[in-house]
Amino acid sequence: MNVKHLYRNSIRFKLLLYFVLIILISIVTLSAVGSTMYQRSIEESTNEHTSQMMGQVKNNISFYFTEMENIIEYIAQDREVRSFYAGQTGDEWALREVMRRYEERHGEIAGILLVNRAGGWISNRLGTISRDRLTSEAWYREAAERPDELHMISKPIGRNIKADHNYSADQVLSFVKAIKDPLTGNMLGVVLIDMKLNIIQQTIESVSLGKSGFIYMTDRQGGIVYSSVNPVVYRIKAEWMVSASNDLIKTINGRSYQIMHTPFQNIGWKIVGVFPLDESRSVITRLQFYTVLVVLVTLVLAFAASWFFTNSIISPVRKLRSLMRKVEEGELNLRFRSRSNDEIGQLGHSFNKMVQEIERLIHMVYTEQKEKREAELKILQAQIKPHFLYNTLDTIQWMAQDRKADDIVEIIGALTNLFRIGLSKGHEIIRLSEELKHVESYLIIQMARYEGKLNYEIRVAEELEGCSVLKLILQPLVENAIYHGIKTKRGSGRIRIEAVKEQHKIRLRVEDDGLGMKPEQIEYVRMGLQGSENPEFKSGYGLFNVHERIRLTYGSSYGVQVESEYGKGTCIDVYLPFVKA
């Protein structure tokens, strides 16, 4: 027995399959969404942590950079230093004392060098001087060209470093800035301060990025200012940092790393964070393993629960199916018994009512057949009566012709047409020409009744005579025109009936020059046509019946519209679809 056969013939299999599929899809979807969101959360958390650590390092180092710039400004404002920059022969001991005080206050300072515009210099560390003038060296010229900027040199000058110290020239950063005359703005000289690199080292190594992530600092050219001992850093290319993107993923030595960088303001140096992706992905891998395990266990439990639940539904259904098969074989003294009042219990109750109804109907068959034959006989008699009426009217018409009573002949002919078209063999839809003939027959009879009081005119386009329309829609409107308009006015009246085509519609117009309606009467009529449930709006007006029949037959786009002016008459337009017979 294959799966397709089971699906077609077993509701238990369908329910079980649906339950398992719904649970499976729900669990897999939730697991996938949860895993993706958790993975994204870990990645965002890692990025945020890395960004925070890098920001912390940058802020701490920026503090020292700002402090060096402030120290340069303070030194430049000293009276002895300004005398030195002015070219005056100052007290060298006093100058060295100024530099010594700043070095004692700020342990990160490795040395201070003052150089004036004339080439004179003084240092708290420099013992000998090269034969070249300091003013011709690149660092001095760069400061002179851009005197408003703080210049940082990652490859230090080293002139302030003595051999007796426990650090070398490679273990300092040099800060250089020009000193200007506050009155003239002319450059007076340059201050150079060497800062110990161990401050940068301590700041960078005070934070960690996971187990094997690290942070390092680069200069404007992308050269490494400081980095912990890690071979990965030398595989990172400087051009990678040119991109504005702060989320680079690169593979180095077969391992994927996420590289983030944040620049120092105005100086072009950067703090770079490097984090191996496999550290965060290992957490995600463990999560995925446990997720799959939970899904499998949940599926097993769900299958067991679905099997039990399906049986609780199927057992009473099978019992009901067995009873139905016995009923098919003609055994009607059976009842379904159930303690529950759920849908299946209600279905069993309906089954019991059905069996009882079948028993009742079997006993009613003979009576029903007898009543059916009687109804057929009545229908036959109803069909005979119109023929008898037509034959009688024809007899009267011939008798009137024999006696030369032409007016009676005309009235009898009109009455015959009125009945014949009105019945139309039970058809509701007739030709427009027949509908016009029907209303004309009615007008002939009314003209005979109100002799000299009533005239009429009928105009119809030839293309419309063969169209199909709902029968008996004009006669009630003409009747309203006679009884509510012309009959109540002084003198004679005229009714004009017109049929024209407007776009895809037929417009039938019944217009009279009778008494017309007052504004409040018009309002009542229009409210009735708009569907008001108040019976006062519809009583006594045959046009409401016509309007509702048209809307029920053709839809709300069609119906009756009324215009009237008291003392001048009424115009009723009937809109029908243009349909060829």
Q: Which of 258, 218, 257 is nearest to 238 (CA)?
A: 218
Q: Is the pLDDT of residue 577 over 90?
A: yes
Q: Which two three-digit tokens encode residue 387?
A: 């023929």
Q: Which of 230, 254, 277 is the last residue of a domain?
A: 277
| Overall average pLDDT of the 95-113 stretch | 85
Q: Which of 215, 250, 277 is the last residue of a domain?
A: 277
Question: Using 50, 70 and 90 to split pLDDT, how confident is the model at 570?
Answer: very high
CB-based burial of residue 200 (10 Å sphere; 0-12 exposed, 13-18 middle, 19+ buried)?
buried
Question: Using 50, 70 and 90 to split pLDDT, how confident is the model at 540?
Answer: very low
Q: Which of 511, 525, 526, 423 is nearest to 472 (CA)?
A: 423
Q: What is the pLDDT of residues 270-299, one digit of tens each?
A: 888 888 877 766 666 777 777 778 878 887
Higher pLDDT, 388 or 324: 324
Half-sphere exposure of 9 (CA within 13 A, CB side): 6
**Is 533 a domain residue?**
yes
- The pLDDT, as a whole number, for residue 208 is 79
- The pLDDT, as a whole number, for residue 168 is 54
**Is 328 a domain residue?**
no
**Is 536 a domain residue?**
yes
Identify the H or E element spanning 114.
Answer: strand 109-116
**Is 205 a domain residue?**
yes
- Report the CATH number that the domain containing residue 524 is assigned in CATH: 3.30.565.10
CB-based burial of residue 405 (10 Å sphere; 0-12 exposed, 13-18 middle, 19+ buried)?
middle
What is the percentage of the chain residues whose pLDDT exceeds 70? 80
| Overall average pLDDT of the 437-455 stretch | 86
**Is 400 a domain residue?**
no
CA–CA gap between residue 38 and residue 515 (Å, rounded): 85
- The pLDDT, as a whole number, for residue 336 is 72
**Is 225 a domain residue?**
yes
- The pLDDT, as a whole number, for residue 510 is 94
**Is 19 a domain residue?**
no
**Domain tally for the chain?**
2
Q: What is the pLDDT of residues 131-176, one digit of tens each?
A: 457 888 888 888 889 988 888 887 766 555 554 454 455 678 888 9
Least confident piece of the model among 72-86, 150-164, 189-203 = 150-164
572 touches 543 (CB < 8 A)? yes
Question: Using 50, 70 and 90 to split pLDDT, how confident is the model at 558?
Answer: very high
Residue 219 structural domain: 50-277
Greatest mean pLDDT among 5-19, 151-165, 339-353 lies in 339-353
pTM for the model stands at 0.47
| Overall average pLDDT of the 65-94 stretch | 83
Strand-pair category, 429-431 with 270-276:
unpaired
Q: Which of 259, 277, 295 is the last residue of a domain?
A: 277
**Is 402 a domain residue?**
no
Q: What is the pLDDT of residues 453-507, one digit of tens each?
A: 889 999 998 888 889 998 888 988 999 999 888 888 888 899 999 999 998 899 9
Average pLDDT of the chain, as a whole number: 78
Question: Using 50, 70 and 90 to split pLDDT, how confident is the model at 379?
Answer: very low
- Report the CATH number that the domain containing residue 223 is assigned in CATH: 3.30.450.20
Q: What is the pLDDT of residues 225-261, one digit of tens each?
A: 877 777 777 777 777 777 666 667 777 787 888 788 8
Encoded amino acid at 521, one letter = Q
Q: Which two three-digit tokens encode residue 304?
A: 């067991």
Number of H helices, E strands in the chain: 13, 17
- The pLDDT, as a whole number, for residue 569 is 92
